[in-house]
Amino acid sequence: MSTATPGAAPHGALPKVENMRVAIIAAEWNGHITGALTQGALDLFKAEGFDDDQVDVYHVPGAVELTFGASQAIESSAYDAVIVFGCVIRGGTPHFDYVCQSVTQGITMLNSDCDIPVIFGVLTVDNEQDALDRAGGKLGNKGTEAAEAAIKMHDFACKIKEL
């Protein structure tokens, strides 16, 4: 991005939101990675003053099931944002491509059809080290970034609804 959006918070500054409820849906597959992403998000929410009862964590078997999990969280009407965490590591078969395409299209569909944001926290990497680097390693924690995006998108949705 080369220009700032008028009225937007500076990069890194988070809007203050009240009573926001978040569902985190994490895949069990590659759980050591999705667990680290989830913890990064929980740490950010805590640092932003969220109470424990404002963020619920659910688990589904794998990345393909994230869309269903997110859909169920949305249908509950209990949440203001949903974050999905998965980790798909490239292997020697086309399975990687099918899984990545499925979850990407599913989450994109939910974002276009639903009234609350679904934040895409799915790592699609070539190897485990790439994932570790993004789940609290040398490249930071994408879980923290997903939590920031959830707060910003909830704030955005609230502002649009006020128009």
Q: 150 pLDDT band (50/70/90 cuts)?
A: very high
Q: How far apart are alpha carbons 88 and 104 in whole angstroms? A: 12
pTM (two decimals): 0.91
pLDDT of residue 11: 56
Residues of 66-85 as b/e, b for ≥16 C-beta within 10 angstroms?
A: bbebbbebbeeeebbbbbbb
Q: What percent of the chain has pLDDT over 90?
A: 86
Q: How far apart are alpha carbons 117 and 155 in whole angstroms? A: 10
- Annotated active-site residue 11? The verdict is no
Q: How far apart are alpha carbons 12 and 108 in whole angstroms? A: 24
Superfamily name and number for 26-162: Lumazine/riboflavin synthase (3.40.50.960)
Which of 11, 32, 59, 95 is an active site residue?
A: 95
Q: 7 pLDDT band (50/70/90 cuts)?
A: very low
Length of the chain counted residue by residue: 163
pLDDT in tens, 115-145: 999 999 999 999 999 999 999 999 999 999 9
* Domain boundaries, given as residue ranges, for the chain: 26-162
The average pLDDT across 79-92 equals 95
Beta-carbon contacts of residue 133 (< 8 Å; ≥ 6 apart): 139
pLDDT of residue 9: 45
Average pLDDT, the chain: 92
Q: Is the pLDDT of residue 26 over 90?
A: yes
